[in-house]
């Protein structure tokens, strides 16, 4: 069952899919904060509402710009008219919050009763005068962070093809002049436009944008932007590059529907990933990358105290948020041994560059190639964890406390999705998270109560 | 369709899972899509549970949607039977399976032929019942199943225990202070000379269910969970029940008197009056508190109460009867059982509100302008916004409502806890108010909060803007570390680049 022998290439397994993860509707939690003029309406049941309410903790009390359209028995049995019901709720939202966009999140229930959200949205949109974007972020098809992927894929369709002409009354000639002036205003765009996709906190956006600027590359926009009304211009032929590993639908939408060219790069997670990401973009846009090796080396020097703590330790990813490949690759570079990479879904094409970097990293670090387990089975994984006794298990909250009580050190995986882990500056944050349980172990030393369950409970 | 931001009671399957996972060696299998096993996270986090929550999902995905679950549910049941050797597997429908209308009962019957354990399908409909009703039903369903099974096997022993004994029904996982309440109830029963026969479902095995009829009576401490079971046991075995919640000095006395009567009609001659008197006057501090000057100052102060039936009703009675506080309105989110609530609290408050709409409650609080609120976590947050103190008395709750220390709400120690809660809520509001009247702690405006004398450094407008994006609670630290870094580098101007260089170098 366990592959401890040195494999010559990455092995991919697929288990039963019986694993714990967050429902993809959780993406509203960070997306409503990112897109400041949006309103997210989750069309589902009490189950969805209960999940959001509990998963978002205190955020729920801060008058969030999200709500449930809670389906009742009459909606399920089609005694009520979906269109009329949604219109009533959306008008209420318009009145109370006046958002620039309403995002409908389709759920398992709307899938099963085949509510035609994509069909209803354009009609209602023209009737109430607010754009309605439909994303099917349901647990039948997707896991956790893939929710963002469905939303961004839907938003990609709404990006303008050219700069919006704000003064509509202007004559064509003047508009053209205006257009040219704006174009000139964009500094040093001596390369085709580049749009990055993936929702990141604003400080990280600034940082990655600056990083590329240093290489003479101008980022012409981000999907998503701070506001829906500022969605980036996306002309056919523009280059796009992802910042997160779970955005494969968005990537294919950008390629197929918007005729963009995808830059397939490792993701800017860890200094190694960030450097490879910047280098790949430079290479594609024909800019010689400068000073990156020194920059990366400096970051590694800064990380030395953390590296001492984890070098030679083993880590097991149970898998629930699709960041696993990138994090594992970074941790191998840090000197850890990765025993297993569980992952909900593995898009080998979208993650190709990341997988190649993982393989190369393992070879360079002389570390065994880890086993990648798609759709893992948590029960089997726990048996493997008992057997392997890893130094660190990265897992969801459902398993963290029970494993700790059995003397197995854990780190809660969801924190990686909310911490600022991208770019050169994010490396420290990742290692801060990874080493926290190890530092806790050091701080508590040998108190003699690492195992806190009676043996038969196992 | 209903626009909703917050709900007081969870969906039905949560109730079933709470009951199933309270038992030992009972496993629940949810028929649900990926991500619906959030119950495991809640139990592991809120209760800081050391053991794996015995709940797994039989995942409903695209294939199931297209072709039905087919062998999947049966396979999952037999697999769990082999892996964990539970006594019982409870197949739990969710909102998804409610509308898929698969014949889960058929899966259960087929699985039963292959398993060593018993298998039950929880008889709950997502669209008809909520968490609390589902928990009540599931408990009754499991009890009924095992009593019928024992009767069929002829192993049912209805012989009463030699000494008076009690079953305590309705203690569950994720219940508000249930663990502490149970401990307090056991202590109370001990002091009354009553053996605890069976506690259900928390910590029990299904084998213990057959012992239920040997008790002299059932105690149902909470209105929401356990009542159906007690009613069934009364109808089937003539087991009397006491369903007065022993919360507050007077209600505890009443509960004990009811127990006394139940025992005496069965041939005992117990008299608990001197016990009640001793406890009330000297053990519990709540009776004395009600006479003290502290409590006198609360007389006529306005409060509002909201929560589940049990806690909101008991709290209203305590505030009005035992502390002389003016309850402007009392409310419950147990809308399905509203008549009971109304009857309980009507004499003790001006108005009764029965709703599960939190915005209506928020508005009613704003209108009433009480000096203190007693409610759920939601009301606590309303109170924060309106600057009104709030004592949390009922689920839904956060992790801080699962305290490690001993905090029962029931019994005589419970009365002490409640007196503290009430008094602290009111004095907190009073202190704030007085501080404001006298101009606050600090009468001079504080000019600087930073310890760094940062006169030599200037921040560019962009950097300042970037700094403002940093969450408030760490902004000061980021600022200090960045300035320290800049000074070390001999820089006088802090730009965005310097900020990120500082972050990379020192983690500012």
Please say whether the beta carbons of A276 and A267 come within 8 A.
Answer: no
pLDDT of A7: 59
* Contact map slice: B 66-85 vs A, CB within 8 A: 76, 83
The answer to whether residue B313 scores a pLDDT higher than 80 is yes
Phi, psi of A14 (to 5 degrees): -135, 125
Give residue B455's pLDDT.
59
Measure A172 CA to nearest chain B CA, in Å: 36
pLDDT of residue A412: 94
Phi-psi region of A194 (alpha: psi -120 to 50; beta: other; left: phi over 0): beta
pTM: 0.90
- Chain A neighbors of B126, CB-CB under 8 A: 45-47
As a whole number, mean pLDDT of residues B471-486 equals 83
The reply to whether A22 touches chain B by the CB within 8 Å rule is yes
| Angle A264-A270-A272 from CA coordinates, rounded to 5° | 65
Tokens representing A337 are 């041994």
User: In this predicted structure, what is the pLDDT of residue B507?
Assistant: 73
Q: DSSP for B10-49?
A: -BHHHHHHHHHHHSSSEEEEEEE-TT-THHHHHHHHHS--
Task: Compute the average pLDDT of residues A444-453.
Answer: 85
**Burial (Cβ within 10 Å: 0-12, 13-18, ≥19) of residue B65:** middle
Q: Is the model more confident about B230 or about A73?
A: B230
Nearest residue to A26 (alpha-carbon basis) of B41, B13, B120, B311: B41
| CB-based contact, B99 to chain A, within 8 Å | yes
pLDDT higher than threshold 50 for residue A181 = no
Mean pLDDT of B408-433: 89
Q: Which of residues 439-498 of B touch A (CB under 8 A)?
A: 466, 469-470, 496-497
A400 touches chain B (CB under 8 A): yes
DSSP B266-320: TT-----HHHHHHIIIII-SHHHHHHSHHHHTTTT-EEEEEESHHHHHHHHHIII
**Does A381 reach chain B within 8 Å, measured CB to CB?**
no
Q: Which two tokens stand for residue B469?
A: 């994006």
Mean pLDDT of the B126-131 span: 93
Handedness of CA B309, B315, B320, B322 (dihedral sign): positive
Instruction: Give the model's pLDDT for residue B140.
Output: 98
Can you name the residues that pair with B292 across neighbouring β-strands? none
Least confident of A3-17, A424-438, B240-254: A3-17
Choose, out of A342, A425, A427, A436, the residue to mutate when testing the contact with B (most B CBs < 10 Å): A425
Chain A nearest-CA distance from B469, in A, is 7
List all residues of chain A from 320 to 339 with a beta carbon under 8 Å from chain B: none
Q: List Cα–Cα distances, A108 to A71, A118, B32, in angstroms.
A: 12, 15, 10
Q: Per-residue pLDDT tens for A237-288?
A: 999 999 999 999 999 999 999 999 999 999 999 999 999 999 999 999 999 9
Contact B469 A202 (CB under 8 A): yes
* Residues of B with Cβ-Cβ distance to A71 under 8 angstroms: 1
Lowest-confidence segment of B205-214, B375-384, B462-471 by average pLDDT:
B462-471
In the predicted structure, residue B452 carries a pLDDT above the cut 70: no
Which residue of chain B is at minimal alpha-carbon distance from A140?
B61
Which of A34-38, A445-449, A450-454, B490-494 has the largest mean confidence? A34-38
Look at the block and give the residue holding tokens 């004592």: B391
Contact between chains at A64 and B5 (C-beta distance less than 8 A): yes
Can you give the pLDDT at residue A59?
65
Across B31-57, average pLDDT? 92
Q: What is the DSSP string of A315-337?
A: EEE--SSS-HHHHHHHHHHTTPE
Cβ distance of B2 and A69 shorter than 8 Å: yes
Q: How are the residues of chain A apportioned to helix, strand and coil, as percentages rounded to the nearest 5?
A: 50, 15, 40
Q: Taking a C-beta distance cutoff of 8 angstroms, is the pair B343, B319 a contact?
A: no
Q: Residue A183's pLDDT band (boundaries 50, 70, 90)?
A: very low
- Asked if the C-beta of A351 comes within 8 angstroms of chain B's C-beta atoms, the answer is no
- The pLDDT value recorded for residue B309 is 97
Whether B2 and A113 lie within 8 Å, measured CB to CB: no
| Integer Cα distance of A328 and A38 in angstroms | 34
pLDDT of residue A454: 72
Predicted confidence band of residue B491 (pLDDT cuts 50, 70, 90): confident
Instruction: Please tell me the distance in Å from A237's CA to the nearest CA on chain B.
Output: 31
- Whole-number Cα distances in Å, B384 to B68, B92, B388, B406: 49, 38, 6, 26
pLDDT digits (tens, 9 = 90+) for A342-368: 999 999 999 999 999 999 999 999 999
Q: If you ran DSSP here, which 8-state letter would residue A140 be given?
A: T
CA distance B70 to B72: 6
Burial of B347 (0-12, 13-18, 19+ CB in 10 A): exposed
pLDDT exceeds cutoff 80 at B38: yes
Q: Minimal CA–CA distance to B328: which of B375, B368, B358?
A: B368
**Greater pLDDT, B322 or B449:** B322
- If pLDDT is split at 50, 70 and 90, which confidence band does B401 have? confident
CA distance A422 to chain B (A): 12
Mean local confidence (pLDDT), A337-342: 97
Confidence of residue A170 (pLDDT cuts 50, 70, 90): very low
Tokens matching residue B490: 């001999």
Looking at the complex, does the CB of residue A453 fall below 8 Å from at least one CB of chain B? yes
With an 8 Å Cβ cutoff, is B286 touching chain A?
no
| pLDDT higher than 50, residue A3 | no
pLDDT digits 0-9 by tens, A84-97 = 999 999 999 999 99
- CA–CA dist A394, A388 (Å, integer): 14
Report pLDDT for B440: 60
A23 chain-B contacts, CB cut-off 8 A: 33-36, 38
Give yes or no: B357 in active site.
Answer: no
**Does residue A188 carry a pLDDT above 70?**
no
| Average pLDDT of span B432-458 | 60
CB contact set of B388 (below 8 Å; sequence gap of 6+) = B365, B369, B370, B371, B372, B373, B382, B429
Residue A164 banded pLDDT, cuts 50, 70, 90: low
Note the pLDDT tens digit of each residue in B145-173.
Answer: 999 999 999 989 889 999 999 999 999 99
Please name the residues between 225 and 284 in chain A that touch chain B, using a CB distance below 8 Å: none
ipTM of this predicted structure? 0.89
Question: Is residue B16 a contact partner of residue B88, using CB atoms and an 8 Å limit?
Answer: no
Residue A306 CB-half CA count within 13 A:
23
Q: Pick A335 or B5 by higher pLDDT.
A: A335
pLDDT at B116 over 70: yes
- CB contact (8 A) between residue A399 and residue B44: yes
**What average pLDDT does chain A have?**
90
Using the Cβ of B343 and the Cβ atoms of chain A, whether some distance falls under 8 Å is answered with no
Q: A28-37, A141-150, B338-347, B435-444: which has the minimum mean pLDDT?
A: B435-444
Q: Do A109 and B95 touch (CB under 8 A)?
A: yes
For A192-241, write each residue's pLDDT tens digit.
999 999 999 999 999 999 999 999 999 999 999 999 999 999 999 999 99
B454-466: b (≥16 Cβ within 10 Å) or e: beebebeeebeeb
Q: Average pLDDT, stretch A318-330? A: 97
**What DSSP element (H or E) covers A428?**
helix A423-444
Helix, strand and coil percent figures for chain B, each rounded to 5: 55, 15, 35
CA dihedral (B40, B45, B49, B50) in degrees, to 10, reads: 100
Q: How far apart are the C-alpha atoms of B351 and B137, rounded to whole Å?
A: 31
Average pLDDT over residues A429-457: 86
Among B38, B378, B390, B470, most A C-beta atoms within 10 A, so best to mutate, is B38
Predicted local confidence at residue A36, as pLDDT: 94
Question: Which residue of A51, A89, A91, A110 to mutate against B (max B Cβ within 10 Å)?
Answer: A51
Residue bearing tokens 């008889």: B123
Of A422, A371, A416, residue with least CA distance to A394: A416
The DSSP output letter for B429 is H
Per CB-CB distance under 8 Å, the chain A contacts of B10 are 46, 50
Residue A133 in tokens = 């974007």
What end-to-end distance do the CA atoms of chain A give, in Å? Answer: 20
Report the distance separating Cα A287 and Cα B469, nearest Å: 31
To the nearest whole percent, how much of chain A has pLDDT over 70?
90
Are A135 and A121 spatial neighbours (Cβ–Cβ below 8 Å)?
A: no
Mean pLDDT of A295-321: 96
Q: With CB atoms and an 8 Å threshold, state whether B130 touches A432.
A: no
The nearest alpha carbon in chain A to B1 belongs to A71
What is the predicted pLDDT for the residue at A407?
93
Exactly one of B103, B277, B294, B350 is catalytic; which is it?
A: B294
Size of interface A-B (CB pairs under 8 A): 188
Q: Residue B470: pLDDT above 90?
A: no
The answer to whether the beta carbons of residues B418 and B398 sit under 8 Å apart is: no
CB contact under 8 A, A18 and B33: no
Q: Which of A21, A61, A67 sits opposite B35 (nearest CB)?
A: A21
Contact by Cβ (8 Å): A177, A214: no
């Amino acid at each position: 069952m366990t592959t401890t022998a040195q494999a010559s290439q990455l092995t991919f397994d697929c288990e039963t899919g019986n694993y714990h993860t967050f429902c993809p509707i959780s993406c509203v939690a960070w997306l409503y904060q990112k897109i400041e003029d949006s309103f997210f309406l989750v069309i589902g049941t009490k189950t969805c509402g209960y999940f959001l309410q509990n998963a978002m903790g205190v955020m729920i009390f801060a008058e969030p710009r999200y709500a449930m359209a809670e389906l009742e028995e009459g909606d399920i049995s089609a005694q009520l008219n979906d269109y009329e019901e949604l219109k009533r709720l959306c008008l209420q939202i318009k009145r109370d919050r006046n958002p620039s966009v309403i995002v409908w999140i389709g759920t398992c229930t709307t899938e099963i009763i085949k509510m035609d959200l994509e069909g209803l949205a354009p009609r209602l949109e023209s009737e109430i005068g607010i754009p309605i974007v439909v994303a099917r972020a349901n647990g039948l098809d997707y896991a956790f962070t893939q929710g963002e992927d469905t939303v961004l894929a839907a938003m990609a369709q709404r990006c303008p093809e050219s700069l919006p002409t704000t003064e509509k009354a202007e004559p064509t000639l003047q508009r053209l002049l205006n257009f040219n002036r704006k174009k000139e205003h964009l500094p040093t765009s001596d390369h085709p436009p580049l749009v990055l996709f993936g929702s990141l906190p604003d400080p990280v956006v600034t940082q990655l944008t600056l990083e590329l600027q240093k290489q003479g590359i101008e980022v012409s926009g981000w999907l998503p932007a701070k506001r829906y009304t500022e969605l980036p211009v996306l002309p056919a032929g523009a280059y796009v590059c992802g910042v997160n590993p779970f955005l494969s639908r968005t990537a294919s939408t950008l390629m197929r529907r918007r005729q963009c060219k995808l830059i397939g790069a490792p993701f800017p997670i860890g200094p190694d990933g960030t450097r490879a990401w910047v280098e790949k973009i430079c290479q594609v846009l024909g800019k010689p990358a400068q000073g990156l090796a020194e920059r990366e080396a400096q970051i590694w020097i800064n990380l030395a105290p953390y590296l001492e703590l984890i070098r030679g330790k083993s880590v097991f990813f149970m898998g629930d948020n699709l960041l696993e490949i990138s994090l594992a690759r970074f941790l191998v570079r840090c000197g850890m041994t990765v025993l297993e990479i569980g992952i909900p879904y593995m898009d080998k094409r979208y993650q190709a560059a990341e997988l190649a970097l993982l393989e190369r990293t393992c070879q360079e670090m002389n570390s065994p190639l880890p086993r990648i387990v798609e759709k893992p089975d948590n029960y089997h994984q726990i048996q493997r964890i008992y057997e392997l006794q890893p130094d660190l298990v990265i897992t969801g909250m459902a398993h963290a406390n029970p494993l700790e009580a059995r003397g197995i050190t854990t780190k809660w995986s969801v924190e990686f999705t909310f911490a600022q882990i991208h770019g050169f500056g994010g490396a420290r944050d990742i290692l801060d998270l990874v080493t926290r349980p190890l530092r806790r172990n050091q701080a508590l030393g040998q108190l003699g109560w690492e195992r806190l369950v009676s043996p038969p409970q196992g | 369709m209903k626009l909703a931001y917050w709900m007081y009671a969870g969906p039905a399957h949560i109730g079933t899972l709470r009951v199933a996972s309270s038992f030992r060696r009972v496993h629940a299998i949810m028929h649900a899509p990926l991500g619906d096993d959030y119950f495991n996270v809640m139990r592991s986090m809120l209760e800081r549970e050391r053991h794996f929550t015995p709940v797994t999902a039989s995942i409903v995905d695209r294939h199931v949607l297209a072709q039905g679950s087919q062998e999947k549910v049966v396979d999952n049941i037999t697999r769990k039977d082999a892996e964990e050797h539970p006594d019982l597997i409870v197949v739990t429908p969710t909102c998804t399976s409610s509308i898929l209308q698969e014949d889960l009962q058929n899966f259960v019957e087929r699985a039963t032929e292959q398993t060593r354990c018993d298998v039950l399908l929880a008889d709950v409909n997502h669209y008809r019942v909520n968490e609390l009703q589902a928990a009540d039903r599931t408990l009754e369903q499991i009890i009924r199943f095992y009593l019928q099974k024992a009767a069929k096997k002829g192993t049912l022993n209805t012989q009463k225990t030699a000494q008076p004994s009690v079953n305590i029904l309705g203690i569950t996982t994720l219940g508000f202070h249930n663990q502490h309440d149970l401990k307090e109830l056991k202590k109370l029963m001990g002091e009354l000379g009553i053996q605890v026969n069976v506690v259900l479902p928390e910590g029990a095995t299904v084998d213990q269910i057959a012992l239920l009829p040997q008790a002299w009576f059932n105690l149902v401490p909470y209105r929401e969970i356990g009542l159906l079971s007690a009613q069934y046991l009364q109808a089937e075995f003539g087991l009397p029940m006491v369903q007065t919640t022993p919360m507050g000095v007077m209600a505890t006395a009443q509960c004990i008197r009811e127990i006394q009567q139940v025992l005496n009609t069965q041939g005992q001659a117990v008299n608990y009056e001197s016990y009640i008197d001793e406890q009330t006057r000297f053990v519990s501090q709540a009776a004395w508190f009600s006479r003290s000057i502290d409590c006198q100052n609360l007389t006529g102060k306005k409060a509002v109460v909201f929560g589940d039936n049990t806690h909101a009703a008991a709290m209203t009675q305590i505030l009005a009867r035992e502390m002389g506080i003016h309850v402007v309105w009392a409310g419950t989110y147990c809308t399905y059982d509203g008549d009971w609530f109304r009857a309980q609290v009507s004499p003790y408050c001006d108005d009764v509100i029965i709703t599960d709409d939190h915005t209506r409650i928020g508005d009613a609080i704003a209108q009433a302008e009480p000096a203190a609120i007693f409610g759920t976590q939601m009301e606590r947050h309303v109170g924060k916004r309106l600057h009104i103190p709030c004592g949390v008395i009922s689920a839904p709750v956060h992790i801080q409502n699962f305290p490690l220390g001993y905090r029962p709400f029931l019994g005589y120690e419970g009365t002490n806890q409640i007196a503290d809660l009430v008094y602290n809520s009111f004095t907190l509001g009073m202190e704030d108010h007085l501080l404001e009247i006298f101009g606050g702690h600090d009468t001079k405006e504080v000019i600087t909060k930073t310890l760094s004398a940062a006169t030599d450094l200037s921040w560019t407008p962009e950097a300042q803007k970037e700094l403002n994006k940093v969450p408030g609670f760490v902004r000061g630290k980021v600022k200090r570390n960045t300035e320290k870094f800049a000074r070390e580098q001999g820089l006088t101007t802090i730009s965005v680049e310097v900020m990120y260089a500082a972050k990379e170098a020192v983690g500012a």
